[in-house]
Amino acid sequence: MQIRVHDLRAWTHDRHRVVDEPPYGGGTGMILKPEPVFEAVEALRVGPESRVLLLTPQGVPFTHGQAAALAAETHLVLLCGRYEGFDDRIRALVDLEVSIGDYILTGGELPALVVVDAVVRLVPGVLGDAASAAQDSFAGGLLEFPQFTRPPEYRGLAVPQILLSGNHEAIRRWRRKEALRRTLSRRPDLLTAAALSEEDRLLLKEVTREVQAEAGSPARLSIPLV
Ligand code: JD8
């Protein structure tokens, strides 16, 4: 696998290597002019197998599923805007528009790095252990279970006894239950979409009962962030 970075100014033809112009119709700031973008993408395409991605706040939300689909491609071109954006005609070059989230950044470079990071770890041979990509949370549709390492007690905080028991079946079941508990409490939207087994439904029922039991005991201090 190879990753290369290109400077749009390499596809300008003027002394000052200008890539931006003020927008027609007026407005603040500058936008990327179409010619360097068209020439860059035409130069970088290797054939019909190349997929051109545009990182923009107007794109479809980037997901693990998309990362997996992109990892199966042979050649990707990630197009990053700057300034106030780009001349809209460059969308003619683009196969897929993605956004990494609902917050405003100054350009598409960090979103491109986020996409690269999510995709490369799904390319065979990039992760040390290929199994870990299939194991991780969004692949399974749930949040991850809590993990611990030595020591068994630190500053009065104990590792759950079951993890020290050596009972692999009990540990597997505990982990699945804790993954379900976290997903239910933090990301219930993921549970709706997850493929749940009969065992999962049973574990969720146990979790729900425990949560109801906790409702009767004193709450911990919580400070809302929003
Ligand atoms: C590309 C310029 C700057 C600032 C107009 C578009 C993605 N999730 C995301 N947040 N922000 C971006 C992103 C922002 C960009 C560009 C991506 C090119 N900007 C803004 C003011 C308003 N532009 C992004 N993917």
Q: State whether the beta carbon of 160 lies less than 6 angstroms from ligand 1.
A: no
User: Residue 158's Cα: distance from chain center in Å?
Assistant: 32
- pLDDT in tens for each of the 226 residues of the chain? 999 999 999 999 999 999 999 999 999 999 999 999 999 999 999 999 999 999 999 999 999 999 999 999 999 999 999 999 999 999 999 999 999 999 999 999 999 999 999 999 999 888 765 556 565 667 689 999 999 999 999 999 999 999 999 999 999 999 999 999 999 999 999 999 999 999 999 999 999 999 999 888 877 667 777 7
- Torsion over CA of 130, 132, 134 and 135, rounded to 10 degrees? 160
Instruction: Confirm whether 57 is a catalytic residue.
Output: yes
CA of 97 to the centre of ligand 1 (A): 12
Q: What is the CA(46)–ligand 1 centre distance, in A?
A: 27
Compute, in angstroms, the gap from residue 108 CA to the centroid of ligand 1.
6
pTM given for the model: 0.92
CA distance 67 to 64: 5
Q: By CB neighbour count within 10 A (0-12 exposed, 13-18 middle, 19+ buried), where does 180 fall?
A: buried
Give the closest residue (by CA) to ligand 1 atom 19: 107
Q: How far is the CA of 23 from the centre of ligand 1 (A)?
A: 16
Sign of CA dihedral 193, 194, 198, 200: negative
What is the residue whose two structure tokens read 């003619």? 92
Do 178 and 143 contact (CB within 8 A), yes or no? no
- Amino acid identity, position 102: D
Residues 6+ apart with CB under 8 A from 140: 179, 194
Q: Is the CB of 82 under 6 A from ligand 1?
A: yes
Q: Is 100 in the pocket of ligand 1 (CB under 6 A)?
A: yes
The pair of structure tokens assigned to 117 is: 């990071």
Q: What is the pLDDT of residues 120-146, one digit of tens each?
A: 999 988 876 555 656 566 768 999 999
Read off the tokens for 41.
């993408």
Query: What atom of ligand 1 comes closest to residue 101's alpha carbon?
Result: 8
Report d(CA 23, CA 27) in Å as an integer. 6
